[in-house]
Amino acid sequence: MQIGSKIIYIDKTNSTNNYLKNNLEKGLVVYTDEQTSGRGQRTNKWESEAAKNILMSTALFHESLKAENQFFLSKAISLAVYDFLSEYIIDVKIKWPNDIYIYGKKIAGILIENNLRGANIYSSVVGIGININQVHFPAYLPNPTSLSSITGKTYEPKKLLNELIKNLNIRYHQLEKKQYKKLSASYFQHLYRFKIESEFLIDKIKVKAKIIDIEDDGKLVLQYANNSIKSYAFKEIEFINE
């Protein structure tokens, strides 16, 4: 499957993911200058200044992606965004499950919504937001940054979109070929604070632990100071920003 076999531009929409869910077409990419109701993880809003950033979604139809392997899709998309940004800046990291960080600040977010058929994922709508030229952010956002904030340069988001799509195709083809070990090795290589003691919030309690693994279903595996090991699903744990 070729991501971006068809590209549609909309000057303004409530959400590119919502648009695609109502207009599912294999490989279609829709991008916009402005979202009025952009969405992120944990029901958060995705804030973006109009015409400053990359706001896009794509529709993927999978041939044989089992539901139990859905996190490999998240790895592939995260790595594609990592690959794209690494052409411009260093110290890009993937913060579990699929936020993209630079120097400890968030530059991009990913929202994946899957459609199941039996034990398989039939289709996915993948939304990606990358801060490109925006340098002023709402005060309530904890740690945003952008490509322009880091490099001091101004970019053309529509041109960068084509580069992003190329990287998405490379990583998605690895997923189609079931190169799960390769995807996992790359993901761990670039994982934010991997095997470094960090603070997390679990049941409203702050804890310190190290990320030592991620299970195939996406659960985060932590090792505590007493060497006990526990795994957590996405909604059960939260990274405390440092």
pLDDT in tens, 85-140: 999 999 999 999 999 999 999 999 999 999 999 999 999 999 999 999 999 998 88
Tokens of 229: 């090991």
d(CA 24, CA 161): 20
Note whether 214 and 148 are same-domain residues.
no
CATH number of the domain residue 214 falls in: 2.30.30.100
How do beta strands 6-13 and 28-35 pair? Answer: parallel
Give a yes or no: residue 124 inside a domain: yes
Q: In the chain, which stretches have pLDDT less than 50? A: 42
Distances (CA, A) of 143 to 36, 117, 136, 194: 21, 38, 12, 20
Note whether 29 and 88 are same-domain residues.
yes
- H or E segment and range at residue 99: strand 99-102
Note whether 214 and 183 are same-domain residues.
no
Q: According to the model, what pLDDT value does residue 41 have?
A: 54
Note whether 113 and 229 are same-domain residues.
no
Q: According to the model, what pLDDT value does residue 48 have?
A: 80
Cis peptide before 97 (omega within 30 of 0): yes
Q: According to the model, what pLDDT value does residue 47 have?
A: 74
Count how many domains the chain has.
2
Give me the phi and psi of 222, to 5 degrees please: -110, 145
Tell me the residue type at 57: S
Determine the structural domain holding residue 210 and report its residue range: 198-239
CATH number of the domain residue 147 falls in: 3.30.930.10
Say which DSSP state 43 is in.
G
pTM: 0.95
Closest CA to 4 of 161, 177, 128: 161
Q: According to the model, what pLDDT value does residue 40 have?
A: 54
Give a yes or no: residue 1 inside a domain: no
Note whether 44 and 150 are same-domain residues.
yes
d(CA 80, CA 146): 17
pLDDT digits (tens, 9 = 90+) for 155-167: 999 999 999 999 9
Note whether 157 and 93 are same-domain residues.
yes
Say which DSSP state 36 is in.
S
Of the chain, the end-to-end C-alpha distance in Å amounts to 40
